Amino acid sequence: MRLVCGDETIVVEVRETAGGSEVTVNGQALRLHVDTVGPGEFTCRQAEHVETFHCVREGDVVHLFWRGRVYRLEEETETSRAAHRHAGGGLEAPMPGKVIAVKVAPGDTVAKGDELLVVEAMKMENAVRAPRDGRVKSVAARVGDMVSPGVVLVELE
């Protein structure tokens, strides 16, 4: 599998051998044994050292808890690569929530940092701001709309 972590893509390959599983991470071979403890909970044994870790998958996303830290990795598939290619000049909601103000209309000129719209979630108001100077090409949100990341709300030319 190919796991995306920030800007890095890491290739992890699992090979079943007679002596157990052999895993390579970016070509580095590691010998370890994993047992399932319960849903999402595992032990990892390397030589005589045993430790617990937690891991779940949600679609293409792998959530991993390892030695006190949470990691969010994306498994790179054909679909996710295509989605990345299509990410263009649109501004998405920073989080799921409700649009409580729309401050621009198509044709408006905006400066970097200008508030374009305000999304409210969990009692907090958060502004979506212009990442650069430009002209508003389209606005796809109205006050009262429920929105979530992945949906383009405002397009800048």
Partner 1 sequence: MPAFQKVLIANRGEIAVRVARTCRAMGIATAAVYSEADAHALHARVADEAVPIGPAEAARSYLSIDALLAAARRVGADAVHPGYGFLSQNGDFADAVAGAGLAFIGPPGDVHRRMGDKKGARRLMAAAGVPVVPGYDGDDQADATLAREAARIGWPVMIKPSRGGGGKGMRAVRAEKEFLPALAAARREARSAFGDDAIVLERLLERPRHVEVQVLADASGQAVHLFERECSIQRRHQKVVEETPSPALGGDQRRALCAAGVAAARAASYVNAGTVEFLLDPSGEFYFLEMNTRLQVEHPVTECVTGLDLVRLQIEVASGVPLGLTQDAITTRGHALECRLSAEDPWNADLPSPGRILHLAPPEGPGIRWDGGIATGSDVTVHYDPLLAKLVTWGASRDESVARMAEALRRTVVLGVVTNLERLQAIVDHPAFRRGLLHTGFLDEHLTGLPRVPCPPPEALAAAALALSGTPEITGGPTPGRPSPSDPWQTLGAWRLG
Q: What is the rounded CA–CA span in Å between residue 18 and residue 78?
A: 32
Stretch that binds partner 1, among 26-34, 101-109, 110-118, 133-141 (CB under 8 A): 26-34
Does residue 10 bind partner 1 (CB under 8 A)? yes
Given 17, 48, 82, 88, the residue binding partner 1 (CB under 8 A): 88
Q: Which is nearer to partner 1, 103 or 151 (CB)?
A: 151
Nearer to partner 1 (CB atom), residue 10 or residue 107: 10
How far lies 10's CA from each of 60, 61, 67, 82, 101, in Å? 15, 14, 20, 18, 41
Binding mask 52-71 for partner 1 (x = CB under 8 A): -xxxxxxx-xxxxxxxxxxx
Q: Does 118 help bind partner 1 (rule: CB under 8 A)?
A: no
Binding region for partner 1 (CB under 8 A) = 1, 3, 5-6, 8, 10, 12-14, 21, 23, 25-26, 28, 30, 32-34, 36, 39-42, 44, 46, 53-59, 61-74, 87-92, 94-98, 121-124, 126, 131, 146-152
